Amino acid sequence: MAIRTILTQGDPVLNKTCHPVTKFDHKLAVLLDDLKETLTQANGVGLAAPQVGILRRAVVVVDGTGEMLELVNPEIIAQKGEQDGLEGCLSVPGMWGYVKRPQWVRVKAQDRNGSWFETEGEGLTARCFCHELAHLDGHLYTELTDHLYTTEELDQMMEEQEAARQEERE
């Protein structure tokens, strides 16, 4: 296993469409293990193969229970509702934006051996599935938000909101 370098916005690889995985071999297993290790080290909730420079349809996502899922050739097959929330990306470090996503999604994918399975997620997990799958088609969340905040701006905004809530209570 190895930690791979995460590409950042501006690298043209992040805007390319990834190819389906057709060989469920040792190379794929190594890629999935490396994605997991890289995601753990980066302390994120999702990572897609193109973010480490590999144009293959494979992602890893941390679900609501903290388990790390491997999704090969994933597709969203159903979705419900809508949520608006803050999103960030390991390829866009230090920036955050509000993005609308479905509240719940159902995903079909293959495991590292090629077996198909279905999984579902809501809230943050649904957001994460949508975000990671968009990477496979060369899309970043920054296309879906009208304003990007720096971490400092966000901290300040949270403080102001907290102060406003305090005032309401008094």
The nearer residue to Zn ion, 89 or 99, going by C-beta atoms, is 89
d(CA 53, CA 57): 12
Residue with tokens 């955050």: 96
Q: Identity (one letter) of the amino acid at 16?
A: K
The nearer residue to Zn ion, 79 or 142, going by C-beta atoms, is 142
Q: Are the beta carbons of 47 and 37 closer than 8 angstroms?
A: no
**Smallest distance from Zn ion to CB 90, Å:** 6
Q: Among 86-94, 101-109, 149-157, 159-167, which window interacts with Zn ion (CB under 5 A)? A: 86-94
Binding of residue 89 to Zn ion (CB under 5 A): yes
**Smallest distance from Zn ion to CB 106, Å:** 21
Backbone angles phi, psi at 93, to 5 degrees: -65, 140
Q: Among 61-69, 70-78, 84-92, 104-112, which window interacts with Zn ion (CB under 5 A)? A: 84-92
Comparing CA positions, the residue from 89, 87, 112 lying closest to residue 23 is: 112
Number of residues counted as binding Zn ion (CB under 5 A) = 1
d(CA 127, CA 96): 14
Catalytic annotation on 120?
no
Catalytic member of 37, 132, 143, 159 = 132
Binding of residue 18 to Zn ion (CB under 5 A): no
Residue with tokens 């190379």: 27
Residues labelled as active-site residues: 132
Residues that bind Zn ion (CB under 5 A): 89
